[in-house]
Structure formats: C-alpha cells, structure tokens
Structure 1
Amino acid sequence: MSGWDVAVTRLLGLLLLLLLCCLGFIVLSDEVLEGETQQLDERVLLALRSPEDPARPRGPWWLRRTAEDVTALGGVPVLALVTLAVCGFLLLVRRYRTLLLVLGATLGGAGLNVLLKQFFARPRPSVVPHLTEVMSQSFPSGHAMLSATVYLTLGALLGQLAERKRLKIYVLAVSLLLPFLVGLTRVYLGVHYPTDVLGGWVAGLAWALLMAVCARALRRRSPALRAEARRPVE
C-alpha cells in the first residue's frame, strides 16, 4: 500500500470515528433531555454511597482523598498548566504553527463545553451530597470533556514525535487512561451523573478527532506546516 493510500485510509478512519461520536452524543443527549437515564443515573450514585449515610462514599478512607487528587487532573488550573508547559516546549523548538493548533484545540474545546452546558442546563445531582464544590451545569461533564480534549490532543502531538510504535501505543494509552480516571472520580464524588461523564468523554473525543482532521488538512495545504511536523526535535 502506497503512502497516499495509507494517508487516505487513516483520514477516512478518523472521519468515521468522528461521525460515530457525534451520533452517539446526539442519541445520549436526547435520552438525557427526555429523562430516560435519570433513574439509572441515580441508582449508580446511590450504589457508591453507604446505605446508612449517603454523605459517606463506599471504600476505604484513602479512596476519597485519591479521587479528589485525581479529579484535579481534569480541572481548569491543571489543564491550563499542562497546556502552557507544552506550548512553552513548542515555542523553544520553534514549532509555532503546531503551538497555534494546540491552543486552538484547547480553547475551542473549553468554549464548546460552556456552550453545551448552557444549552442542556442539566442540574447537578441532588440524590447524594457533593464531596467537592461545583458551580456550573451538569451535562456534559467539563472535567471529562476537557481532559479528553487536552490529553488526547497532546497525546496525538507526542505520538508524532515518537518514532517507535510501542512508544506511540504507550502515549495513546496514557492519553486515554487519564480522562477515564478523571471521569470516574466525578461520579464517585457525586458531582456528576454517569451519563454526564459519558457525554463529556464522547464530546471530548469528537472534538479531538475534529482537530486531528483539521490538522491533517492544514498540513496538506501548508508546506511550511508539513515541513515543521517532519523536522526532528533537537
């Protein structure tokens, strides 16, 4: 198979996965708006709490502390610091166009999450006490969506810099694991329904895929960006 055929196959795969994510989010959000998932959502939250005291989560004492630490990996301060650190690295290696793509993907994903939250305006769970403070609407989960957007975007960037296949697989696995763990902590802490987190994961993956497709299109049309992507990091 020629290099052109491989590129076309990868692009079609990205577009197909993007389409599936969009359709999945539409179906899920429709079920949420109609209240079809509410009963199951509440059952899951209650199952994670002590029957005698809903304010006490199941598990050892250190599990709550761990969940609070892990959930911070999807918060705006941590994601902003990670993005700025990566942008500083790209600035030092003079990959200015790639830096703009990273900033566009991150800021665009954050803006999209705000719009989606305002559109659906789903209240936060009230069936159990929250174990951490929250201020915005519930669907889709901002922590799940933004962590998926940022870590997958950065994972794709690092995957381009890695030459060996096993390194690429490792980077991809980590970029998938972090949003997964962040999403689980949001449910465990009682600040999101499971469908909020699922919606955040799907929306974040869709946005990251869209940015990947846009980056490929820009590289095809911009010789400077294509040369920048191929230049080895010194």
Structure 2
Amino acid sequence: MAFKQSDIVTPQEPPLPAEDVHLPERGFTINRRKAAAVALVCWLGWGIMVWLVLKNGTIGIDRAGLLWFRTGADLQARGGIWVVEAVRDITALGGVLLSTLVTVAAVVALMFLKLRREAVLFALTVILGWGLNTLMKTVIGRDRPNLVPHLSDAAGLSFPSGHSFASAMIYIGMALAFASLSQRHSVRYLLIASAMVLSAFIAWSRVLLGVHYPSDAIAGWLGGAAWAFTAAALLYKPARAAAETDTVAHLDPRTG
C-alpha cells in the first residue's frame, strides 16, 4: 500500500532502532494457592456481612457510619463543597463509565505487552463479576438508606454496593494481571495492596455520599476482592487455553 508524502512523519531526531526496545520479562504467574487462600478469607467476611444484614445486626454501625460525615440540623456534609466534590471524584473511579474505560485500556495494554493470558483472565474476571454482582443484589435485595440527604444520584438496590464490588474486582484484578511482569514479591505485594487501598476508598466514598450503608460498602468490597482472587485462582487454565486460540490472536493490536 502506497502512502502519500504528507502522511509520513519526519522525525526531529534519529528514530530509536527497533532492536533497542525491550519489553520486561514476562511469563511469571500469580501463586494460585495464595490467591485462593485470600479469596476464602474475603468470602468468609462477605458471608458474615450477609448474615448480619439478614439478621438486622448492622443497624448500629450503619447509622453511625452515615452520620459520621454529617453535621447540623440538616445533616449536611462536613468540610464544605470542596470535600463533597473530592468524594464524588473518588466515587467516579468505581462508576460504570470510568471503570469500563479502565478495563478496556488495561486489556489493550496487556495485549501490547504480550500478556494474552493475563488479558483474557482479566476480561473474564470483569465480565463474569458484573453478572455475579447483579445476582447478589437480586438475591439479597435492600432499599437505599434515607437517613441522610444523598449527595449523589443513585438508583437500584443497595446491597451490596455495586461501586464497591466493581472497584475491588477491577482494580485488584488489574493489579494481579500486571503483577505478572515482576518476579519480586515486594513489587507484587505493593501493587496489589495499592489496588486494595484505592478500591477501599472508593467503597467508603459511597457511604460518605449517603447512598449506601457501611454494611453495603463492606460487603461489596469483600465480594469484589473475593471474586478477583477467586478468578485468579480458578480461571487461570481456561484463560491460558483461550489466549492460545486464533480468535484471541486476531484481537492482538500488535498484529495486522
């Protein structure tokens, strides 16, 4: 295919030779036994939260958590409008739009890094996780809190928090995928721990906005984290098999 001269970029400096560009070593995997152990702990925590909610055992913590960020007779947020805007910015990281964009960008980046197995695993984690979260909401069923004014629009059922589940599932799942680029435990643990902290902030932001009970956020985060680690442990072999198919190969952005 011939290109017009106007389509050709003229470099200001000599271009970097292709052979001088090196990707980091790849092929390291997450320890699936450790992932399964963490998943078990998170699922146990999630099960306890479900039991407490069904037994009305979270009324005290739910009320205290919602009122903690509020002040005055009209129960407005502490700290003023800039604090509210900051909380809204944090919660947006777990919203459908941004979390979807992050997921797509991460999958493409993993493909560029020749990490097809991790790309497929992460995609499966998110796709199946959304269905799992919807099932949880349908089975449990719970109306949103009306104790304090809502500082953000929210619809649908309250338990578990979809933002909390999605942020834990996506950011922890993404950290597990990119952790395969390093063979150092310290780097892996730092990456995964950072994702856990970030997703926890997103979960708590839902409580600060008044659209979820603390028990919603805790259960959502535990469920999302549990699923991310469960997927890393159980979906590894199916993801590896799928990554070796011609269909996934054709989706590789480095080909064509």
TM-score by length of 1: 0.84
Do structure 1's residue 100 and structure 2's residue 151 form an aligned pair? no
| CA deviation after TM superposition for structure 1 residue 222, in Å | 9.0
The reply to whether residue 52 of structure 1 matches residue 70 of structure 2 is no
How do 1:82-161 and structure 2 match up within 5 A? Answer: 82-161=102-181
Q: Distance in 1 between matches of 2:66 and 2:200?
A: 17
Q: 2:37 aligns with which of 9, 13, 16?
A: 16
Aligned to 1:80: 100
**Deviation of residue 128 (structure 1)?**
0.6
Q: Distance in 2 between matches of 1:169 and 1:120?
A: 33
Give the Cα–Cα distance (whole angstroms) in 1 for the partners of residues 241 and 126 of structure 2: 22
- After superposition, give the CA deviation of every residue in 1:70-91 in whole Å (9 maximum; x if it has no partner): 1000111111001111122233
Deviations for 1:27-83, whole angstroms, at most 9, x for unmatched residues?
Answer: 2111101212123302221222113211x1112431111000010001111110011
1:69 is aligned to: 89
Q: Which has the higher helix share?
A: 1
Question: Match for residue 228 of structure 1?
Answer: none
Please, which runs of 5 or more residues in structure 2 have no aligned partner? 1-28, 246-256
Q: Is the 8 A contact 2:116 2:243 kept in 1?
A: no
Q: What residue in structure 2 maps to residue 30 of structure 1?
A: 51
| Amino acid in structure 2 at the alignment position of 1:53 | D
Alignment partners' CA distance in 1, 2:68 and 2:128: 35
**d(CA) in 1 for partners of 2:174 and 2:147?**
36
Identity %: 33
The alignment covers a number of residue pairs equal to 218
**SS, match of residue 201 in structure 1:** helix
Q: CA RMSD in A?
A: 2.5
Structure 1 consecutive aligned stretches of length 4 or more whose deviation exceeds 6 Å: 219-223
Q: Distance in 2 between matches of 1:144 and 1:116?
A: 13
Bigger mean CA offset, 66-75 vs 166-175: 166-175
Q: Which amino acid aligns with 2:65?
A: V
Please list every run of 5 or more consecutive structure 1 residues that lacks an aligned counterpart in the other structure.
Answer: 1-6, 226-234
Letter in 2 for 1:119: V
Partners of 2:57 and 2:243 lie apart in 1 by 50
